[in-house]
Amino acid sequence: MSRTKKNQESTILDIAAALQLSPATISRALNNNPNVTPATRKKVTEMAGQLGYRRNNMALGLRNNKTHTIGLIVPRISMFFHAEAITMMQNALYEKGYNLIISQSNDSPEMERRLVDTMYSSRVDALIVSCTLDTQDFSHFDVFADNDIPLIFYDRVPPAFDGALIIRGDDFQGGYLAGTHLAETGCKRIAHISGPLTTNLYRDRSAGFFKALKAAGLPVYEHLVFYQPLTYDNTRTALKKMFEHREKPDAVFTANDTAAIAVHEFARENGLEIPRQLKIVGYSNDPRCAIIRPAITSVEQFPGKMGSKVVEALMQMLAADRETALNEPITIPVQLIRRMST
Amino acid sequence: MSRTKKNQESTILDIAAALQLSPATISRALNNNPNVTPATRKKVTEMAGQLGYRRNNMALGLRNNKTHTIGLIVPRISMFFHAEAITMMQNALYEKGYNLIISQSNDSPEMERRLVDTMYSSRVDALIVSCTLDTQDFSHFDVFADNDIPLIFYDRVPPAFDGALIIRGDDFQGGYLAGTHLAETGCKRIAHISGPLTTNLYRDRSAGFFKALKAAGLPVYEHLVFYQPLTYDNTRTALKKMFEHREKPDAVFTANDTAAIAVHEFARENGLEIPRQLKIVGYSNDPRCAIIRPAITSVEQFPGKMGSKVVEALMQMLAADRETALNEPITIPVQLIRRMST
DNA sequence: GTCATTTATGAAAACGTTTTCATAACTTGA
DNA sequence: TCAAGTTATGAAAACGTTTTCATAAATGAC
Chain D footprint positions (protein CB, under 7 Å)? 7-20
Whether B100 and B20 map to the same domain: the answer is no
Nearest CB to A121 within list B5, B55, B100 = B55
3 state SS of B243:
helix
Looking at the partner chain, which of A1, A4, A147 has a beta carbon nearest the beta carbon of B6? A147
Q: How many CB pairs under 8 A join A and B?
A: 138
Q: Count of residues for chain B?
A: 342
Residue B274 and residue B311 in one domain:
no
In this complex, the answer to whether residue A13 has its CB under 7 A from any atom of chain D, a nucleic strand, is: yes
Supply the range of the domain harboring residue A143: 68-169+303-332
Q: Any CB–CB contact under 8 A between B160 and chain A? A: yes
Answer for A98: CB within 7 Å of strand D: no
The predicted-structure confidence for A97-149, as pLDDT tens digits, reads as follows 898 888 999 999 999 999 999 898 888 999 999 999 999 999 999 999 988 89
In a domain, B90, yes or no: yes
What digits encode the pLDDT tens for the residues A195-245? Answer: 999 999 999 999 999 999 999 999 999 999 999 999 999 999 999 999 998
* Residue of B150, B171, B206 whose CA lies nearest to B331: B171
Q: How far apart, in whole angstroms, are the C-alpha atoms of residue B178 and residue B213?
A: 10
* B276 Cβ under 8 Å from any chain A Cβ: no
C1' nearest to CA of A44: which nucleotide?
C9
Give A228's contacts (C-beta < 8 A, 6+ positions apart): A193, A194, A195, A196, A234, A238
A251-271 pLDDT per residue, tens: 999 999 999 999 999 999 999
Closest to A220 (Cα-Cα) out of A243, A181, A178, A192: A192
Residue B142 falls inside a structural domain:
yes
Q: Are B269 and B320 contained in the same domain?
A: no
How far is it, in rounded angstroms, from Cα B293 to Cα B267? 12
**Can you say whether the dihedral through the CA atoms of A313, A314, A316, A320 is positive or negative?**
positive
Quick one: B42 and B85 in the same domain?
no
Residue B340 domain flag = no
> Contact, B70 vs B124, CB < 8 A?
yes
Contact predicate A41/A29, CB 8 Å: yes
For A264-287, the three-class secondary structure string (H helix, E strand, C coil) is HHHHHHCCCCCCCCCEEEEEECCH
> How many structural domains does chain A have?
3
Cross-chain residue pair B103–A104, CB shorter than 8 Å:
no
Whether residues B142 and B224 fall in one domain: no
A137 in any annotated domain:
yes
Asked if B312 and B163 sit in the same domain, the reply is yes
Over the range B2-17, which residues count as b (16 or more CB within 10 Å of their CB) and which as e? eeeeeeebbbbebbbe
Reply yes or no on whether the pLDDT at A6 is more than 50: no
The verdict on B118 and B161 lying in the same domain is yes
Residue A3 is predicted with a pLDDT of 35
Q: Using an 8 Å CB-CB cutoff, list chain B residues near A94.
A: 103
Q: What are residue B241's phi and psi, to 5 degrees?
A: -60, -50
- Is the backbone of residue A199 left (phi > 0), alpha (psi -120 to 50) or beta? beta
At residue B145, φ and ψ (nearest 5 deg) are -60, -40
In this structure, the answer to whether residues B161 and B215 fall within a common structural domain is no
Report in angstroms the alpha-carbon separations of B125 from A125, B67, B112, B296, B318: 21, 6, 18, 41, 8
Question: Does residue B61 lie within any of the structural domains?
Answer: no
Question: Which residues face B101 on adjacent strands?
Answer: B71
* Cβ pair A291:B293 closer than 8 A: no
CA distance A4 to chain B (A): 7
H/E element, B319: helix B303-319
Domain co-membership, A150 together with A263: no
Query: Helix or strand or coil: residue B154?
Result: strand
Distances (CA, A) of B266 to A2, A131, B250, B272, B274: 48, 40, 14, 8, 11
Residue A340 lies in a domain: no
Q: Which of residues 310-329 of B touch A (CB under 8 A)?
A: none
Contacts of B117 in chain A (CB under 8 A): 54
Q: Are residues A256 and A108 in the same domain?
A: no
Residue A318 located in a structural domain:
yes
Q: Give the C-alpha distances (Å, rounded to integers) separating A224 from A191, A215, B162, B229.
A: 5, 19, 62, 47
Name the closest residue on chain A to residue B98, using Cα atoms: A118
First and final CA of chain A: distance in angstroms?
59
Same domain, B153 and B187: no
Q: Does A62 touch chain B (CB under 8 A)?
A: yes
User: Domain containing B18 — which CATH number?
Assistant: 1.10.260.40
Q: B251: closest CA among B234, B229, B273, B271?
A: B273
Q: Which nucleotide is nearest to B28 (CA to C1')?
A: C18
Q: Which of B219, B217, B211, B214 is nearest to B191 (CA)?
A: B219
Structural domain includes residue B338: no
Suggest the residue from B9, B50, B57, B148 to mutate for an interface test with chain A (most A CBs closer than 10 A).
B57
Same domain, B281 and B177: yes
- Cβ of B65 near strand D (under 7 Å)? The reply is yes
CATH code of the domain covering residue A284: 3.40.50.2300
Radius of gyration (C-alpha) of chain B in whole angstroms: 26
Would the CB atoms of A83 and B87 count as touching at under 8 Å?
no
- pLDDT tens for chain B, 342 residues long, are 333 444 568 999 999 999 999 999 999 999 988 888 999 999 999 999 999 899 999 999 999 999 999 999 999 998 999 999 999 999 999 889 898 888 999 999 999 999 999 898 888 999 999 999 999 999 999 999 888 899 999 999 999 998 899 999 999 999 999 999 999 999 999 999 999 999 999 999 999 999 999 999 999 999 999 999 999 999 999 999 999 988 899 999 999 999 999 999 999 999 999 899 999 999 999 999 999 989 999 999 999 999 999 999 999 998 875 555 567 899 999 999 999 998
